[in-house]
With several copies, the nearest count.
Chain A
Amino acid sequence: MPDEVAAHAEQLADQLQEMILIREFETRVSSLFEDNELPGFVHLCLGQEAVATGACWAIDDDDYITSTHRGHGHSIAKGLEPDRMMAELFGKETGYCGGKSGSMHIADVDQGMLGANGIVGAGPSLAAGAGLSIEQSDEDRVCLSFFGEGSMAEGVVHESMNLAGVQDLPVVFVCENNQYGEMTPAEDQHNVDGFEARGEVYDMPAETVDGMSVQDVYEATAEAVERARDGGGPSLLICETYRYHGHYEGDPTTYRTDEEVEQWRERDPIDTLEASLVEGGHIDEDEIEEMRAAARDRIDEAVQFARDSDYPDEEAAFEGVYTEEI
């Protein structure tokens, strides 16, 4: 393990920096929400940063991702700017979607981010479609599809994985098993021990991955991405992870114990990576503090940008429904 860290120290430091940024973004969103500065509601990925970062590290700018209602981490990992994301959360015209989407539908198709999605299970079908587009145009892109373990129960997720399997589409299905769908434990919703068997059902390699380790997620994704680019078809990764906050901000989380949260926090993807980088002498505490400060500054700016931005004009409300006046 120390060898592993040494071999990838530079990349791990960069990944650490990104995870810190995601955490700072989410932490700030949490307090902005508590202070009633944000309309609507938000779902945060605190604790799950390693999945977003590790998986997206394995793809390129012109690759695609599909995301979920818990999508801020995916967006940042795909290269979206915190300022325009934050502006979107504020409902401002400078947001990625001009204030029309909010947290649950942030998208930047030019950047390959095909959207957070408020419909559980919708992403994988879009990912299959991106895969079809890639095949149509004979590109060697890939699409990562993030989805929660809860969405494994949705019919369209099954249909999409089956379609990807029979069509050998270049899609990597990244299941984030954060142990709960809303307030209900995963065990009550599926045979969680059967997640991997879906690989056999859909004729794709399936692997359970430590979702608290950015390196593990990265490596598993990189392998799946390479296979997909080489025409080897889709893969399924089940990343075991945890969300520290509730399902939504404000969720009293009565369905789980503090001990459980504590146990997962001990495996925190940021803390553990920091510790091993420091231990291996690849980075020192000061550098980590600098990373944190940089993240804070970046998010400070994002919040300022969002606050300073204007709300969209009312007319915008009726624009963009169709390509031409209808």
Chain B
Amino acid sequence: MPEKSMRHAINDALSEELARDDSAYLIGEDIGKAGGSFAVTRGLHDEFGGDRVIDTPISEAAIVGSSAGAGLTGSRPIAEIMYADFMGLAADQVMNQAGLFKYMFGGDVTVPLTIRTVNGGPGSNAAAQHSKSLHGLFMHMPGVRVVLANTAYDAKGLLKSAIRSDDPVVFFEHMELYNREGEVPEKSYTLPLGEAAVEREGADVTVVATQKMLHYALDVASSVADDISVEVINPRTLKPLDVETLVESAKKTGRVVVADESVIQNGPASYIARRIEEEAFYHLEAPVEVVGVDDTPIPFSPPLTEAVVPDASDIETAIRGMPRL
């Protein structure tokens, strides 16, 4: 299989879906002529024209709010919010508009809206307002699906499914994974929303990891393989969450680490830990260990960033800290 960057894989997904469905369009800031702030939509404006790849004013609420309205009226909007950090400006439009219409209006309508956004790259030292991982906020909103781009392969297959989904989906890319290459089939494909992937099988410890942490986890799993057999699971979608796959693995290994770049406090890693503890309680050797950001904004200075943001060594420490290994 050819290797592609995640950026390229996402671009392909967008291009294929725009070609496939006339009711789909892209909307966002600088996504058109400029090709996107991170070059993810490059070429699409030329290919599909300004009517289907729409540059907007700097207006996150209107981007998402208008997309909710367009979704109600027969379109399939694909909105881009440049950084997940800016989703706060469109929180109402997700939480009280797009996410609620189907239910409030009696169940018959659909809001086939996808919001693509980017979890921060704390490693790019863009500091506290451009570095957050914020999928946790949206997992708490009924009616909204939450999907992560963790590998190039996932990104393409899941984004296509997100776009085709008749529910609003917030799709989180990751700044530091755009350049990362991975195998992506030439042929068109989709991946189901709600199925986790066992990326590596193992017997001793389960590591559930997202985005950058997934790649660290895989590295660690290889490097400790002589001592410890680590199973690595990529949850892929957080809402719906494939609890079954996670629990099955937890029951097998009895030891679980969850690694996610968000804040731990009421964050996704804590929630995943909770679901595993709930369902696999009597099979666990110890409580689930969580790796994430501990109630701290992301600082600018590289040594500070490194201190705050988890990395491979934190995952390894968590694995090695598991009892009776």
Contact = CB atoms under 8 A, between A and B. Distances in A.
Q: Do chains A and B touch in the complex (CB under 8 A)?
A: yes
B172 interface: no
Given A100-B127, A122-B65, A311 B301 contact: yes
Nearest to B193: A326
B69 A125 contact: yes
Contact of A100 (B66, B103, B142): B103
B128 A105 contact: yes
A322 B97 contact: no
A58 interface: no
B206 interface: no
B220 to A, nearest CB: 22
Given A133-B75, A184-B34, A320-B102, A101 B70 contact: no
B103 A163 contact: no
B80 interface: no
A280 interface: no
A23 B290 CA distance: 48
Given A128-B62, A320-B102, A135 B69 contact: no
Given A41-B126, A184-B30, A255-B33, A100 B300 contact: yes
A262 to B, nearest CB: 22
Contacts of A97: 104-106, 300
B59 A40 contact: no
A316 B145 contact: no
Contacts of B165: 323
A121 B92 CA distance: 11
Interface size class of B (residues with CB under 8 A): 35 or more
29 contacts: A41-B126, A91-B302, A97-B105, A98-B107, A101-B127, A102-B125, A105-B129, A107-B104, A109-B105, A118-B128, A119-B92, A119-B96, A119-B97, A125-B68, A125-B69, A127-B69, A128-B69, A129-B66, A129-B70, A132-B54, A154-B89, A155-B89, A159-B57, A160-B59, A162-B57, A181-B58, A188-B55, A317-B308, A322-B145
Contacts of A39: 125, 300-302
A137 B75 CA distance: 8
Interface in B257-275: none
A129 B68 contact: yes
Contact of A136 (B23, B61, B69): B23
Interface in B120-157: 124-130, 142-143, 145
Nearest to B168: A322
A82 interface: no
Contacts, number: 282
Contacts of B51: 135-136
B105 A132 contact: no
Interface of B: 22-23, 25, 27, 29-30, 33-34, 37, 51-52, 54-62, 64-75, 77, 85-86, 89, 92-93, 96-97, 100-110, 124-130, 142-143, 145, 165-167, 194, 239-240, 294-297, 299-308
Given A183-B30, A184-B29, A101 B300 contact: yes
A11 interface: no
B102 A321 contact: yes
A137 B300 contact: no
Contact of A153 (B57, B240, B303): B57
A125 to B, nearest CB: 3
A120 B33 CA distance: 21
Contact of A121 (B58, B64, B108, B166): B58
